[in-house]
Amino acid sequence: MRMYNRGSELRSTGREMTSILRSPQALQLTLALIKPDAVAHPLILEAVHQQILSNKFLIVRMRELLWRKEDCQKFYQEHEGRFFYQRLVEFMASGPIRAYILAHKDAIQLWRTVMGPTRVFRARHVAPDSIRGSFGLTDTRNTTHGSDSVVSASREIAAFFPDFSEQRWYEEEEPQLRCGPVRYNPEGGIHFAAGTGGPGPT
């Protein structure tokens, strides 16, 4: 007689759900930050926002915040001990930042390309039209940050948007945004599927 195994069924369902959420057709998410040096200058802030829109990213969530020093230290923990660590932490806690969750079929790599190289000197020479090539001041004050992998994107999104459920978004919002039509709300600064009135609770 075959024994019914509820736990096995749940694990199987979870694997199936994961494969659906991570299917090649699904939109990819990334975290994008606009750093204090850019947020302090409204024209630069707006120019970076327009770069996001012109590169066809969907803005899933957006918020502005002041970052506590302890949160900065935790976020940049992998760099602890390196010569620039303390300077980076102090700078990121020095003023308001803007955080985005961006969606695109290749969000992580595309955003990193739009940002340009980390080192501003290199960005100015090899990607002068990139965000860092245009607005970066130093390797620390380089205007923007972006996740470098799917794993880091999930971790970083959770750090800045603790109420955002990535799984729920993939289940409920992603199919509507991917299949369209999609509208942009200039007041809220985000995209939403037409007919939904905007994102639901996270």
- Catalytically annotated residues: 145
pLDDT classification of 197: cutoffs 50, 70, 90: low
Query: 74-131: per-residue pLDDT in tens?
Result: 999 888 999 889 999 999 999 999 999 999 999 999 999 999 998 999 999 999 999 9
Q: What confidence tens digit (pLDDT) does each residue in 57-78 have?
A: 999 999 999 999 999 999 998 8
CA angle 172, 175, 178 (to 5 degrees): 140
Least confident segment among 1-5, 43-47, 170-174 = 1-5
* pLDDT of 202 over the 90 cut: no
pLDDT tens by residue, 8-23: 444 444 444 444 455 6
- Give the integer Cα–Cα distance in Å for 29 and 50: 18
Alpha helices (H) along 22-105: 36-39, 42-54, 69-75, 85-92
Q: Which residues are annotated as a binding site?
A: 35, 84, 112, 118, 132, 142
Q: Predicted confidence band at 6 (pLDDT cuts at 50, 70, 90)?
A: very low
Q: What is the pLDDT of residue 139?
A: 86
**Homologous superfamily (CATH) for 28-178:** Nucleoside diphosphate kinase-like domain (3.30.70.141)
Q: Where are the beta strands (DSSP E) in the chain?
A: 28-34, 58-65, 97-104, 144-146, 182-185, 190-193
Q: In whole angstroms, what is the distance from residue 47 CA to residue 135 CA?
A: 10
Q: Over the stretch 138-193, which tens digit does the pLDDT of each residue have?
A: 988 999 999 999 999 999 999 999 999 999 999 999 999 999 899 999 999 999 99
Residue 24 has what pLDDT? 61
Residues marked as binding for ATP? 35, 84, 112, 118, 132, 142
Amino acid 196: pLDDT: 72
